[in-house]
Structure 1
Amino acid sequence: MSEKIIKHLIARGFSTTNMVNSLGEIVQKLNGFADVKTAESWDNVGLLIEPATPKPIQKIFLTNDLTEKVLHEAVEKKTDLIISYHPPIFSGLKTITQKSWKTRLVSVCLENRIALYSPHTSWDNNRGAIGDWLAKALPHKESHIILPSAENSNIGCGRVAQVESNTPITLADSIERVKKHTGIRTVQVAIGVNKTLNSTVNSFAVCPGSGSSVLKGVQADLYISGEMSHHDVLEAIHNNVSVILCNHSNSERGYLTEFKDTLANLLDDSSIEIQLSESDADPLVTY
């Protein structure tokens, strides 16, 4: 359906709710994959920016963080919908001006009629999303949720699992598997007080992003996360738990490659182009 026809229909009072490739239709499918109601209460998720004039969604752009550099890339690629894992709008905005980068994001999206959707902790908490993806770094048959929701025990953050008994791995093996799975070249490692790089890893726990509060006290040989506080790392290694840290968004970004295929199956429409950001990257770099 052309944009000219859509404007004509709107002018005549027709609803665009059931428009082919409509924003509402795609948001509904995204919520069907990971309901935003399952996100943490403090989070800001779902459809964050909706242009005033509806149009078919023909290009979807995936990013972990929506920075100005990433948004410039999205505009150049003529994106209709950005799915940014982290919500760039979090606290309240009192003005939409050019004075801060956060408000410039909103301004540029609206000017270019780009919608914005952020799933964040709804992806953390739902099965088949980012938590389970990070757990795939090490071989296991099933994982258990560390902090399940009071309403639904199959939803919650963090995963803990036993390594498959027929695939014995060491801490050194685990480090290489995590780097390969996340697509990064370096990680930070803290080794349990009574362990070495050759110690066997029989169990592990993961939490994408910031893992301190979720992983604290979990019984496992190894914690895998993006970041933990200095004192929580010390607590872990003195409890003989080794730690692998990837940097916050490096523990999440790799999931977008898997989600690209998941989204294509959800939409089941070859006319919609799904692109991964090429400029999205963790702000911290190890030299």
Structure 2
Amino acid sequence: MEIREVIQTIEKFAPLETQEAWDCSGWQIEPKGDLAVEKIMLCLTVTEDIIEQAQSSNCDLILAHHPLFFIPFSFNKQIPIYSAHTNLDKADGGTTDTMIKLMGFKNRIKVGDFLRIVDCEITLENLIFKIKKALNIPYVRVVNPKEKNKFKRLAFCAGSGSEFSSLALQNGADVLITGDLKYHTAVESDIALIDVGHFESEYPVLSVLKQLLSGTVFAQEESPFKTY
């Protein structure tokens, strides 16, 4: 497959023009000409280790979720790098939709560009069980837990979704499932919040990219946060 065909496939699924104004999705390191692509490395965040993995695996392209401005470092420019960030977050079937699907929820409602709503009666215990099983994580952080009552409307935002707690409340949600919750958001929140982790909530979308493209391999990467 030619590299332009790879990018056309990605941008058909997650159009580049839908990215946020502050974002810099697209080419991070541009290729020299229309190269043939046999192997693509998929990752959330490009690091020097990821580049070394791509080189040792003879990859022709690195396809990342996060643009390079999130990780300033010196890098080898021999391998083209392409990022699909907020355009992939917004896409139907993108980061948040993938997380919801993994948890077994259906009939999601799109609110704005990033937030998704699901109507479902579920206890906190069962919701946490679904989250931990779907994302393969040992724990979550919970704010304002409803220990005895059932949640009726769930809001989701993969990645960093603290800013959408008010929007979730305005749309009748009684819990927001996201990552990167901020302290003051937690203190001021009038709804329950469940922090599943930034990396953990976004990583599953790489499997969607794998289904779209041939010749892909997953980089070996993990959340930088460790629990003891």
SS of 1:30's equivalent in the other structure is: helix
Mapped to 2, the partners of 1:63 and 1:103 lie a distance apart of: 17
Deviation at 1:53, TM superposition (A): 5.0
**When the two structures are superposed, what TM-score results if normalisation uses the length of structure 2?**
0.91
The answer to whether 1:249 aligns with 2:219 is no
Secondary structure of 1:104's counterpart equals coil
1:74-93 matches, within 5 Å, as 74-89=54-69
In the TM superposition, residue 137 of structure 1 has moved relative to its aligned partner by 4.7
In our comparison, the structure showing a higher alpha carbon Rg is 1
Shift of 1:71: 1.7
Q: How far apart, CA to CA, are the structure 1 residues paired with 2:36 and 2:18?
A: 28
> What's the % identity of the aligned pairs?
30
CA offsets, 1:210-234, max 9 Å, x none? 1111232422121100112111112
- Note the alpha carbon deviations across 1:131-172, whole angstroms, 9 max, x for none: 21122254443222222xxxxxxxx11111101xxxx53111
Secondary structure at the counterpart of residue 173 of structure 2:
coil
- Tell me, yes or no, if structure 1 residue 104 matches structure 2 residue 104: no
Q: Which residue of 2 aligns with 1:127?
A: 92
The alpha-carbon deviation at position 30 of structure 1 amounts to 0.9
Q: Does structure 1 residue 180 correspond to structure 2 residue 133?
A: yes
Distance of aligned partners of 1:171 and 1:137 in 2 relative to their CA distance in 1, 3 Å threshold = farther
1:160 to 117, 120, 126: 117
- Partner SS, residue 285 of structure 1: coil
Please, which runs of 5 or more residues in structure 2 have no aligned partner?
A: none
Partner of 1:28: 8
Q: Secondary structure at the match of 2:176?
A: strand
Higher relative contact order (CA 8 A, sep 6+): 2
- Contact 1:207–1:215 (CA<8 Å) still a contact in 2? no
Q: Within the alignment, does 1:118 sit opposite 2:88 as a pair?
A: no
Question: Post-superposition shift, 1:243?
Answer: 1.5
Task: Choose which of 98, 102, 109 in structure 2 pairs with 1:144.
Answer: 109
Contact 1:146 1:214 in 2 (8 A): no
Q: For residue 206 of structure 1, what is the aligned residue in structure 2?
A: 156
With normalisation by structure 1, the TM-score equals 0.73
Whether the aligned pair in 2 keeps the contact of 1:206 and 1:215 (CA below 8 Å) is no
Q: Deviations over 1:235-256 (max 9, x none)?
A: 22xx2x2221122222101221
Q: SS of 2:68's equivalent?
A: coil
- Deviating beyond 6 angstroms after TM superposition, the runs of 4 or more aligned structure 1 residues are none
Structure 1 CA distance for aligned equivalents of residues 102 and 193 of structure 2: 14
CA distance in 2 between counterparts of 1:24 and 1:128 reads: 22
Unpaired segments ≥5 residues, structure 1? 1-20, 91-100, 148-155, 265-271
Aligned residue number for residue 39 of structure 1: 19
Structure 1 residues 250 and 138, CA gap change in structure 2 (3 angstroms): closer
Partner Cα distance (1:70, 1:216) in 2: 36
**Letter in structure 2 aligned against 1:82:** I
Q: Which amino acid aligns with 1:273?
A: G
Q: 2:205 & 2:136 partners in 1: Cα distance? A: 10
Residue 191 of structure 1 and its aligned partner are, at CA, apart by 2.9
Determine the structure 1 residue equivalent to 2:184: 231
Q: 1:58 aligns with which of 38, 42, 53?
A: 38
- TM-superposed CA distance for 1:104, in Å, is 1.7
Amino acid at match of 1:221: D
Conserved? CA contact 1:48–1:89, under 8 Å: no
CA contact (8 A) 2:4 2:34 kept: no
The CA deviation string for residues 89-148 of structure 1, in whole angstroms up to 9 with x for no partner, is 36xxxxxxxxxx73422xx1x2xx31111111001111111121122254443222222x
